[in-house]
Structure 1
Amino acid sequence: MHEKDHSEALKARIKSPKRASRRMSMLLGAVALGALTTGAMLQSSFDVGPTPAYAQNLSAQVPAATSAGFADVVDHVKPAVVSVRVKVAVEGASAEGFDLRQFGLPEGSPFEKFFRRFGDEGQRPAPRRYGEAQGSGFFISADGYVVTNNHVVEKAREVEIQTDDGKTYSARIVGTDPKTDLALLKVDAEGGFPYVSFARNAPRVGEWVLAVGNPFGLGGTVTAGIVSARGRDIGAGPYDDFLQIDAAVNRGNSGGPTFNAAGEVVGVNTAIASPSGGNVGIAFAIPAETVQKVVAEIKEHGAVRRGYLGVQIQPISKDIAEGLGLDDAKGAIVARVEGGSPAEKAGIKTGDAILAVDGHEVKNARELARDIAGFAPGKSVDVTVWRDGKKREISVTLTKMPGEKTASAETGEEQGGKLGLSLAPASSVDGADKEGVVVVGVEPGSPAEERGLRSGDVIVSVGGKKVETPQDVREAVKELRKEGRKAVLMQVESANGARFVALPIA
């Protein structure tokens, strides 16, 4: 490779292969991690329940690849791959719903805050503008569960899927996991959908793979290549562990499956390295093992629960290993122990080298992050540390990761629907006051969004009662329902001041 060509290649950036442009920056160099505030996924298998007699597990019917190529494999698995079409709100309206342009005022005008805070309560919000985005996905069960990428649906107002035979269905988002860029959808329609299975074993470097998806909105497209590498960290998130493949993957392939020669899913296509936005032979897929764990958690709990140890760590270099008296540069050294964390309560100290968790040897800091959060909150684990020239076993009871979405303010299925809010105690959110409940998510199209609630707002009281946790909000709503109220009055504080918001609960 010429020096100029090599220089140009180094400019390649990681970006999501989605039709709507999305760029993800590659993180370079060593990172001093607050890594155990995050982690990998709970290790559990995805249970799709009993299979209806009319359903077809397409992966189980795939014949071995022949000299004719992969045509037989494609014939069997392609019906399970779908196009995911998303209606998204276009940015541009002001944050509180007022369109300042109707008053002849540009964005950023000195009067903007005035209109947002003191504008006519009866003013109708400016109409939203909507655009469309497309990605890919695939059925994993006969009853309509579909896997795709989080970045395909994260701003969705509406979601629909189109099958290989041209049929279109509405889909709802069961849950998402931004940290691994995965989402689980559900098509609520009668009939057994053709589906595919996940591979039991990880692919080896050099094995053939097939990528199936909807590149550039063209519809079902198949490309072939090999697994180029495993365990890639591309800086896309805290748990990067990608398969690198050279099968052609482009925008619109996001969320589509990568198959092995047996027709089993070995990964979910999620990113490409490209200076131009097109395929250059380097694509990245989330391994099937990770996908199964995340999907199982979302299906059961609506979100991924991750264990929390509460330490900041850094890799152990050869020099650090020599300074600690370790034979190998493996594991992770504790740079800081968070106050009040499970680690502090268990007796882990700054300077300890963590070598293993529950008997599993830790190779590096990133692996430790994944291992710790692979356990459910409340799990007791044995952490092997190196301190003062000898090994010690320390039992630690993990807790839930602070700052994660802790609950949805659901009124309960038996009570009819939800408010459309995801909440967390203010005390667990960095930068928030210690009182109240912080809005960390607002469902598109929900009553909460329609009435101007935004992420970052703090709910101080509900129905006149102070609230400190999402559970307090749910209980207050339930009580008001029992009293026959048709709306709940919330006292909300934001950067624009305090206000009251009435949400319908009938």
Structure 2
Amino acid sequence: MRARLWHKVFSFVPRRPEKRAPIQKEILFMQIASFGLKSTLAGAVAAALMLGTALPVAAAEEAAATTAPVVQQAALPDFVSLVKENGPAVVNIAVVKNARVVNTPFAFPGMDERQAEIFRRFGFPLPFGGPQEIPEQRGTGSGFIISSDGIIMTNAHVVDGVDEITVRLTDKREFKGKVLGTDKQTDIAVVKIDAKDLPVLRIGSSKDLQVGEWVAAIGSPFGLDNTVTAGIVSALSRNLPSDTYVPFIQTDVAVNPGNSGGPLFNMKGEVVGINSQIFSTSGGFMGLSFAIPIDLAMQIKDQLVKDGKVTRGYIGVYIQELNQELADNFGLKTPEGALVTKVEKESPAEKAGLREGDVITTIDGRKVTSSVSLPMLVSAIPPGGKAELTVIRDKKEQKISVTVGTNKQAEAQKTVDQNTQRLGIQARALTDEEARQADTTGVLVLESTGLAAKSGIRKGDIIVSANGTLVKTVEALRQACTKDRVLLLVQRDGGRIFIPIQFDKKDEGSKK
């Protein structure tokens, strides 16, 4: 209400100086009266203003100091120039998943086709299982150009498993996009379009952000291109239960479906984050949005552009969160750090001498505030590099040097060569324990995209045989995929189904 009244008062002040003075005198007089200044000085000031006489310099300075407002009002930020300069480099990404037929599992665990046929012969309806048609699916997201030759950053979930990508610029030009690489663990993807001399965004540094700082987002919520929203940084290094490797930037910037992959700007017009997630009980914006720090995103981008995948550091420990009771037992003043509960055999941690019950408090001088922050810090260290850990053991602090290894999940992804990519899966051989539990040998599907997904192969499936030959290794599967077609026997939820795969002629160049 006060701001509104002040606006009304000053909106009526004439612009001409000779007409402004009487009104200013009257306003100042009312201000002095409202403060209850009954001193001789206040009276002199008021009389001088009303009579149009001048005050001595010292008296004027003292009067100004006495009547100065106690609180300075900060001006609201102006986003106009920021949007004009950066809007053209923010793109809309439209994606399509083609219609496909998949084989759904049977409702009863362990039921195979032979047992299902018995039920059918006795007249029991089985509406479940068998081929199921999934219609075409369309979606939209956002992205931003970081290189004039068409390199675009967005979220992995925007382009995951899609068959067609269309990138639309603010000048209405459209380009077909190609995914150079994705990293689901950080939700980062890099897309390439065939274009030149494109506008690009300036990349800032997320480590310089402060809570309370103004930020803005540009994206395509619900497909509405180049929509601008603004807010402040609500928190930094926010850890979410579903993400292990991302210290999110929390903001109150309005983010909705379609904003995913769009840039978060600071007031300098620099990208400091990539809008990724919201917290909502309704599906819409509720004041809690989360962005991936640009410092982390650029590290991931560099690996995706160079290798098409991300390799993370690994030391081989199981950890748990500390509470105050545990902190007291381990001789800590505060429950900060990561408590080691298990050390993997032959891991970098074991070789370095880490033990169960150790509390890791820092890595290379960077503080481990919680068990969630440890994987983020370790993963950022290149495999083969050395890291110095500060460890609390027997209530005493000591330093341990460890040579960082390669994340096991990344190693599993390395087993995928071009021919299994031709099929559209990432896979690895079953471990002895997994083979015992599944009562079979085979190859476990880690990811299924492209042709495999269209044909009905899913993540978690076990490929038992190919063209009637048992498949025990990825290499055996690779050999089977060198032909024009392959018939796979897949085990899923205890049951088994055959899935035929017909390779396109354009994939012939992928053969070895």
Do these two structures clear the TM 0.5 threshold for a shared fold by scoring above it?
A: yes
- Higher Rg: 2
Which structure is richer in relative contact order (CA contacts within 8 A, separation 6 or more)? Answer: 1
Shift of 1:213: 0.6
Residue 313 (1) aligns with residue 319 (2): yes
Ranges in structure 2 where 5+ consecutive residues have no aligned partner: 1-74, 107-119
Q: In 2, Cα distance between the equivalents of 1:92 and 1:159?
A: 21
Aligned residue number for residue 285 of structure 2:
279
Q: Is the contact made by 1:492 and 1:501 (CA closer than 8 Å) also made in structure 2?
A: no
Which among 180, 191, 202 is matched to residue 197 of structure 1?
Answer: 202
Which among 418, 429, 438 is matched to residue 411 of structure 1?
Answer: 418
Residue 177 of structure 2 aligns with an amino acid whose one-letter code is A
1:156 is paired with a residue whose SS is coil
Aligned residue number for residue 373 of structure 1:
379
Aligned residue number for residue 39 of structure 1:
none
1:140 is paired with a residue whose SS is strand
Shift of 1:258: 0.9
Q: In 1, Cα distance between the equivalents of 2:232 and 2:167?
A: 28
Which among 57, 74, 79 is matched to residue 70 of structure 1?
Answer: 79
1:186 is paired with a residue whose SS is strand
Q: In 2, Cα distance between the equivalents of 1:344 and 1:139?
A: 44
Q: Is the contact made by 2:456 and 2:499 (CA closer than 8 Å) also made in structure 1?
A: no
Q: Is the contact made by 1:89 and 1:155 (CA closer than 8 Å) also made in structure 2?
A: no
Aligned residue number for residue 191 of structure 2:
185
Residue 420 (1) aligns with residue 461 (2): no
Which among 401, 405, 421 is matched to residue 407 of structure 2?
Answer: 401
Aligned residue number for residue 388 of structure 2:
382
Aligned residue number for residue 332 of structure 1:
338
Q: In 1, Cα distance between the equivalents of 2:497 and 2:280?
A: 46
Which among 250, 255, 273 is matched to residue 256 of structure 2?
Answer: 250
Give 1 or 2: higher helix fraction.
2
Aligned residue number for residue 496 of structure 1:
495
Aligned residue number for residue 95 of structure 2:
86
Shift of 1:96: 7.4
Shift of 1:487: 4.5
Q: In 1, Cα distance between the equivalents of 2:85 and 2:204?
A: 15
Residue 149 (1) aligns with residue 155 (2): yes
Shift of 1:192: 2.3
Aligned residue number for residue 304 of structure 1:
310
Q: Is the contact made by 2:416 and 2:426 (CA closer than 8 Å) also made in structure 1?
A: yes
Residue 458 of structure 1 aligns with an amino acid whose one-letter code is I
Q: Is the contact made by 1:427 and 1:434 (CA closer than 8 Å) also made in structure 2?
A: no
Shift of 1:82: 0.8
Shift of 1:288: 1.0
Q: In 1, Cα distance between the equivalents of 2:497 and 2:277?
A: 42
Residue 152 of structure 2 aligns with an amino acid whose one-letter code is V
1:279 is paired with a residue whose SS is coil
Shift of 1:456: 2.4
Residue 134 (1) aligns with residue 140 (2): yes
Q: Deviations over 1:60-115 (max 9, x none)?
A: xxxxxx99922222111101101111113579964379xxxxxxx9xxx86467x7
Distance 1:208 1:473, change over 3 A: same
Q: Is the contact made by 1:202 and 1:288 (CA closer than 8 Å) also made in structure 2?
A: no
Shift of 1:263: 1.5
Distance 1:231 1:450, change over 3 A: closer
Aligned residue number for residue 4 of structure 2:
none
Q: In 2, Cα distance between the equivalents of 1:91 and 1:357?
A: 48
Q: In 1, Cα distance between the equivalents of 2:105 and 2:180?
A: 28
Q: CA RMSD in A?
A: 3.5
Distance 1:502 1:92, change over 3 A: closer
Shift of 1:469: 4.8
Which among 343, 349, 363 is matched to residue 343 of structure 1?
Answer: 349
Residue 497 of structure 1 aligns with an amino acid whose one-letter code is R
Distance 1:470 1:197, change over 3 A: farther
Q: In 2, Cα distance between the equivalents of 1:469 and 1:198?
A: 43
Residue 264 (1) aligns with residue 270 (2): yes
Q: In 2, Cα distance between the equivalents of 1:467 and 1:93?
A: 22
Residue 301 of structure 2 aligns with an amino acid whose one-letter code is V
Which among 146, 160, 173 is matched to residue 167 of structure 1?
Answer: 173
Q: Is the contact made by 2:443 and 2:473 (CA closer than 8 Å) also made in structure 1?
A: yes
Q: Is the contact made by 1:409 and 1:423 (CA closer than 8 Å) also made in structure 2?
A: yes
Ranges in structure 1 where 5+ consecutive residues have no aligned partner: 1-65, 98-104, 117-124
Which stretch shows the higher mean deviation, 390-399 or 155-164?
Answer: 390-399
Shift of 1:323: 2.0
Residue 198 of structure 2 aligns with an amino acid whose one-letter code is F
Superposition TM-score, scaled by structure 1 size: 0.71
Shift of 1:171: 1.0
Q: In 1, Cα distance between the equivalents of 2:470 and 2:103?
A: 30
Aligned residue number for residue 158 of structure 1:
164
Distance 1:386 1:137, change over 3 A: same
2:423 is paired with a residue whose SS is strand
Which among 223, 232, 235 is matched to residue 226 of structure 1?
Answer: 232
Superposition TM-score, scaled by structure 2 size: 0.70
1:335 is paired with a residue whose SS is strand
Shift of 1:361: 3.5
Q: In 2, Cα distance between the equivalents of 1:442 and 1:135?
A: 22
Distance 1:316 1:217, change over 3 A: same
Shift of 1:461: 5.7
Q: Deviations over 1:288-317 (max 9, x none)?
A: 112112222222222222222222212333
Distance 1:410 1:192, change over 3 A: farther
Shift of 1:241: 1.7
